[in-house]
Amino acid sequence: MAELTHLLAQRAHEVQASAIREICKLIAKPQIRSLAGGWPDPATFPVADLQRIATDIFQQKPALALQYTTSEGLPELREFLADWLGKKEGIHCTPDELLITHGFSQGMELTAKIFIEAGDVAFVGLPTYFGGSGACQTFGAELVGVELDADGMIPDLLEEKILAAKKAGKRPKLLYVIPDFQNPSGVTMPLARRQRLVELAQQHDLVIAEDSPYRDLRYSGEAVPPLMSLEPSGRVVYLKSFSKVFCPGFRLAVVVGDADVIRRMVIARQFEDCCTAAFGQYLLYEFCRQGLLDRQIKLNCAIYTRKRDCMLQALDQHMPTEVQWNRPDGGFFVFVHLPAGMDAEELLHEAVDHDVAFVAGAPFYVDGSGSQTLRLSFAQSEPAVIEAAVAELGALLKAKM
Ligand X SMILES: Cc1ncc(COP(=O)(O)O)c(C=O)c1O
Among the residue ranges 55-63, 148-156, 218-226, 240-248, the one whose residues contact ligand X (CB under 6 A): 240-248
Q: How far is the CB of 321 from ligand X (least distance, A)?
A: 30
Task: Tell me: cis bond preceding 127? Omega within 30 of 0 counts.
Answer: yes
C-beta of 162 vs 379, nearer to ligand X: 379
Q: Is 105 in the site for ligand X (CB under 6 A)?
A: yes
C-beta of 106 vs 165, nearer to ligand X: 106
Q: State the binding string over 32-71 for ligand X (x if CB under 6 A, else -).
A: ------x---------------------------------
Q: Is 281 in the site for ligand X (CB under 6 A)?
A: no
C-beta of 185 vs 323, nearer to ligand X: 185
Number of chain positions touching ligand X (CB under 6 A): 14
- Select the residue interacting with ligand X from 71, 188, 241, 372 (CB under 6 A): 241
C-beta of 252 vs 314, nearer to ligand X: 252
Q: Is 129 in the site for ligand X (CB under 6 A)?
A: yes
277: left (phi over 0), alpha (psi -120 to 50) or beta: beta
Q: Is 243 in the site for ligand X (CB under 6 A)?
A: yes
Q: Is 104 in the site for ligand X (CB under 6 A)?
A: yes
C-beta of 125 vs 172, nearer to ligand X: 125
85 touches 93 (CB < 8 A): yes
Exposure on the CB side of residue 45, measured as CA atoms within 13 A: 13
Exposure on the CB side of residue 128, measured as CA atoms within 13 A: 29
C-beta of 312 vs 379, nearer to ligand X: 379
Q: How far is the CB of 183 from ligand X (least distance, A)?
A: 4
Beta bridge partners of 122: 143, 174
Beta bridge partners of 125: 146
- Select the residue interacting with ligand X from 86, 248, 320, 394 (CB under 6 A): 248
- Select the residue interacting with ligand X from 73, 95, 103, 172 (CB under 6 A): 103
Q: How far is the CB of 357 from ligand X (least distance, A)?
A: 16
Q: Is 181 in the site for ligand X (CB under 6 A)?
A: no
C-beta of 165 vs 255, nearer to ligand X: 255
C-beta of 254 vs 319, nearer to ligand X: 254
Among the residue ranges 5-13, 92-100, 102-110, 286-294, the one whose residues contact ligand X (CB under 6 A): 102-110
Residues 305-344 binding ligand X (CB under 6 A) are: none
Other CB atoms within 10 Å distance of the CB of residue 163: 12
Q: How far is the CB of 128 from ligand X (least distance, A)?
A: 8
C-beta of 211 vs 216, nearer to ligand X: 211
Q: Is 172 in the site for ligand X (CB under 6 A)?
A: no
Q: How far are the Cα atoms of 88, 93, 277 from residue 224, in angstroms, in the given order?
A: 11, 19, 32
Q: Which residues bind ligand X (CB under 6 A)?
A: 38, 103-105, 129, 131, 178, 183, 211, 213, 241, 243, 248, 253
